[in-house]
Structure 1
Amino acid sequence: MIMVRTEEGPLALETPVTAPGERAALLPGASEEQFGQVVRAHKGAGAGRLDVTVVLEGARGSVRIVDIVPRVRASGSPLTGAYFAPTTAGEVGTVALSADMDAPRPGFSAGGGSKAYFRQKQIDLARGEQTTVVMSFTARQASYAFDLQVTVSADGKAQTLTLAPQDGGLFRVTGLPRKPQRYARVYVRSAGAWVVATGPQRCKALRQLDPSC
């Protein structure tokens, strides 16, 4: 593995951003790292879906990726502390693997199908060869913090490696509340800052989650 990147998308936090020092990360000119620190401090998660891009590289001889399995480290109710609406609808790139985190034993399927991907196919890498894997994790019923357990076969021996975000934390995805109005605060992007949405602006931001808003 040489790179793990979490793609941008709607975010939900466990608790609202209230401390003055943290609110500075929402203002114009704040760096992505400052914003990321606030998101991590409030256990932020992809809202409904989390997309992750991983670049894998063969480090020695011939390496085979036998399996990749999400390992849930913690779970709880859907997060309702804050919601950060995506700045644009955007386009979702081609997702090679997808996992339903609400499943009793989450695993990957390919192209939206129901068959387990790694029961049909493995990923082979020669020394120095790279491949990019795009993974999508969805949640509806709860929030999940997880890492990935990667089973690798090399030189006739199998070993399991742990794959996690490059900041050393866990991947996080959360289901949406049944009533999106439950979010304590809703933030939208305006003039380079994240601002609290109120009234019609708040309803507009939540409409993609609840058309009846």
Structure 2
Amino acid sequence: MGNSRGGKTGNKDRGGENAPAAVEKPEGGGWKAARTWVAGIVGAVLVAAIGVVFTAWFGSRGTDVIDRVSGAPPVTIGHVAVDADERDIALREPVTDPEERRILLGARATEDEQQALLTRHQAAVIDWMNITVVLVGNRSSMRIVDLRPRIIARKSVSDGAYLKAPSGSGEVGTVELRADLDKATPRFVTAKDPGVRYFSTKQIDLKRDERVTLSMTISGTEAYYEFDLLATVLAEERAEQLVINGPGGGPFRLTGGGDTYRSFSTPSSLGGWAPMPAAEACELFPKTRKC
């Protein structure tokens, strides 16, 4: 009988061959896959929820934040106009330069040339003027809590030249607000209640893209005034100020009537102004002309 050898013999299958070693499955493999699947579902739900929340926030407040960060004002100026039709105007100095006299007469002069001439001579409407301003909301919610004229310069009334309006002086139309620059602290009031400052009891609420049109009559008879309009706007409990300038970006100009004009002009058939006949000037200003 032969002796057996010292090593252990391998397992044999029924055919006598060695069977392959069994592969041990890691514990919890199914649970790991389930956790991955659940995590994916939860992540998708969170992303969707965040998207909904962000969309709602952006729709209500997000654009406000972007506008504020970018420096955009809470209200924008949609339109500014001075109704100077049928309003006499005065210049600080007479027009003596030959080229400027050609422009003043209107001979082959464009509207831009005439406007530039009037600006150089600080043309001002006499006694009162109508201003129309359109403001547009630039936040989801904002409030105009104050608006007032701000005087930049005050000088003696303009007496350089008197330019008569093409159709004579008109009458003041019905306007919402009015202010007197001759007062120590000019403020807007209404014709119905001139003793109460308008913005002390009322404010103007606007939402994004909403518009409000302000029609204002500004008067001043004691001096020559350059002024702008200063609006105080409240948005998200934060007050900001907005400066409203006249058409072209310069100040509004208003002057009281003078009695020492050095030249007189009347509407010209060429579209400008021609020297006023002496008889007409005497009729309008008998003391000035010593008629």
Instruction: Report the TM-score when normalising by structure 1.
Output: 0.89
Gaps of 5+ in 2: 1-76
| 1:44 aligned to which of 117, 123, 127 | 123
Name 1:175's counterpart in structure 2.
256
Name 2:111's counterpart in structure 1.
32
Gaps of 5+ in 1: none
Q: Does 1:100 align with 2:176?
A: no
Distance 2:278 2:129 in 1: 28
Q: Does 1:58 align with 2:137?
A: yes
Name 1:111's counterpart in structure 2.
191
Q: 1:206 Cα deviation (Å)?
A: 4.7
Larger strand fraction of residues: 1
Deviations 1:117-163 (A, max 9, x none): 11121111121111211111111111111111110111221111111
Decide which structure has the larger Cα Rg and report it.
2
Q: How many residues align?
A: 208
Distance 1:204 1:125 in 2: 50
Q: 1:196 Cα deviation (Å)?
A: 1.2
SS class of match (1:108): coil
Contact conserved, 1:15 with 1:81, CA < 8 A, in 2? Answer: yes
Larger helix fraction of residues: 2
Contact conserved, 1:85 with 1:205, CA < 8 A, in 2? Answer: no
Give the 3 Å change call, closer, same or farther, for CA 206–6 of structure 1 in structure 2.
farther
Give RMSD over aligned pairs.
Answer: 2.2
Matches within 5 A, 1:150-165: 150-165=231-246
Q: Does 1:134 align with 2:210?
A: no
Name 1:85's counterpart in structure 2.
164
Distance 1:33 1:121 in 2: 40
Instruction: Report the TM-score when normalising by structure 2.
Output: 0.66
Contact conserved, 2:82 with 2:247, CA < 8 A, in 1? Answer: no
| 1:184 aligned to which of 234, 248, 262 | 262
Sequence identity of aligned pairs in percent? 37
Contact conserved, 2:149 with 2:230, CA < 8 A, in 1? Answer: yes
Name 1:21's counterpart in structure 2.
99
Distance 1:81 1:150 in 2: 33
Name 2:280's counterpart in structure 1.
201
